[in-house]
Amino acid sequence: MSGQTPRILAIGAAVQDVFLSHSDEFKPVSEKSVHEQFMKLELGAKADVNNIDFSTGGGATNAAVTFARQGLHSMFMGTIGHDPAGAAVLTDLDNEGVDTTHVSYSQRYNTGYSVLLLAPSGERTILTYRGASTHYDAKFFDLTNVDVDWLYVSSMAGSMETLHAIFEQAKKKGIKIFFNPGKGELAHIGKLKALLEDVDVLSVNREEMQQIVEGEELEELGRHAMHYVPVAIVSDGPNGVLATDGKTIVRGGMYEDVRVIDRTGAGDAFGSGFLSEWAQEKSLKEAIVLASANSTSVVTKIGAKAGILHHHSKLHDMLLHEKEF
């Protein structure tokens, strides 16, 4: 595959995200302590909002857009409904040059849909209908006619049997697996650990890794993850990241101290940025730089896709330490 453009299939959720912001009614109200904040919307009242952003999300469609913008062959496989939100998802992916021939339609559920109420502080309250992005049917995830080098698998809302079937097909075909499990998968920790046997790269945040292996510090967590997977990445929001392939350990700091406007999609941009480089056989360091730059850019814009970097975007250096495992 060396030298050829990698082919990546992103599998998982597709949703429409509608952001409402710039409203006097979205001011956070504190009760008891600053950690308990509420948005109080008076029943029966009409709250004016002065800004609306339509975007699409879902971990897999966000990742697919990174791969496409980075110039890779990008495909998306997931389930939507026959509705305007599903049409919005397809339009976004088509405009980005993502191959959508493996999209399936739910007969029972509508496309996942979220309304995000953004407070002036950047905090948000989310109303979410998960719909088709939580009800997966294994028959829609057939890899027979799929010709790719990598799968990027994001959360499938804890559909462990479907994930198992996908991973088994991938391994038979020699397809590598990048896995970014979510809450749904972490709720089935035994089954999740069994799935890791087939995983080539595991990417999770610090709290998630702590549910999989013992440990406090990123390095300890990364080392312990080597019992399950050949490559592990642990991110810790603005505190940086650690990645290891069992030979070297790379610790990265913050890429840039930016003003966070909306952190939706940070994790997706991080994982997909990493895989864009890793699938091209770049180093751990290079992969971490694009992962960090991509996610940092995404948090400065409303929506999970607006800030995703193009392959011509100029990157700068970041603080990285590499040592032997």
Ligand X SMILES: Nc1ncnc2c1ncn2[C@@H]1O[C@H](COP(=O)(O)OP(=O)(O)OP(=O)(O)O)[C@@H](O)[C@H]1O
Q: Which does 297 bind (CB under 5 to 8 A by kind): Mg ion, ligand X, none?
A: none
Asked if residue 57 binds Mg ion (CB under 5 A), the reply is no
In the complex, least distance from residue 259 CB atom to ligand X, rounded to whole angstroms: 9
Q: Which residues contact 75 (CB under 8 A, 6 or more apart)?
A: 7, 8, 9, 10, 64, 98, 99, 100, 101, 102, 146, 148
Which residue(s) pair with 10 in the sheet?
76, 152
Size of the site for Mg ion (CB under 5 A): 1
Among 151, 153, 229, 241, binds ligand X (CB under 6 A): 241
Among the listed residues 298, 310, 306, the one whose alpha carbon sits nearest the alpha carbon of residue 260: 298
Stretch of residues binding Mg ion (CB under 5 A), selected from 28-36, 116-124, 214-222, 263-271: 263-271
Q: What is the DSSP letter of 99?
A: B
Q: How far apart (Å, rounded) are the C-alpha atoms in residues 215 and 306?
A: 35
Among 71, 97, 237, 246, binds ligand X (CB under 6 A): 237
175 vs 293, which CB is nearer to ligand X? 293
Size of the site for ligand X (CB under 6 A): 19
Asked if residue 74 binds ligand X (CB under 6 A), the reply is no
> How far is CA 201 from each of CA 169, 178, 204, 272, 289, rounded to the nearest angstrom?
17, 5, 10, 11, 17
Q: Which does 203 bind (CB under 5 to 8 A by kind): ligand X, Mg ion, none?
A: none
Asked if residue 61 binds ligand X (CB under 6 A), the reply is no
Question: Which ranges in the chain belong to alpha helices (H)?
Answer: 59-69, 84-96, 160-172, 183-186, 189-195, 206-212, 218-225, 266-278, 284-298
90 vs 195, which CB is nearer to Mg ion? 195
104 vs 205, which CB is nearer to Mg ion? 205
Stretch of residues binding ligand X (CB under 6 A), selected from 41-49, 67-75, 132-140, 256-264: 256-264
In the complex, least distance from residue 195 CB atom to Mg ion, rounded to whole angstroms: 17
Asked if residue 100 binds ligand X (CB under 6 A), the reply is no
Asked if residue 211 binds ligand X (CB under 6 A), the reply is no
Asked if residue 267 binds Mg ion (CB under 5 A), the reply is yes
Site for ligand X in 259-278 (CB under 6 A): 260, 263, 265-267, 270
| Coil/strand/helix, residue 228 | coil
On whether the CB atoms of residues 235 and 264 are closer than 8 A, the answer is: no
Site for ligand X in 296-315 (CB under 6 A): 296, 299
47 vs 186, which CB is nearer to Mg ion? 186
What's phi and psi for 89, nearest 5 deg? -60, -50
Which residue(s) pair with 186 in the sheet?
none
For the chain, the first-to-last Cα distance in angstroms comes to 27
Closest residue (Cβ) to Mg ion?
267
Q: How far apart (Å, rounded) are the C-alpha atoms in residues 31 and 198?
A: 47
Binding site for Mg ion (CB under 5 A): 267
Binding site for ligand X (CB under 6 A): 205, 235-238, 241, 254-255, 258, 260, 263, 265-267, 270, 292, 295-296, 299
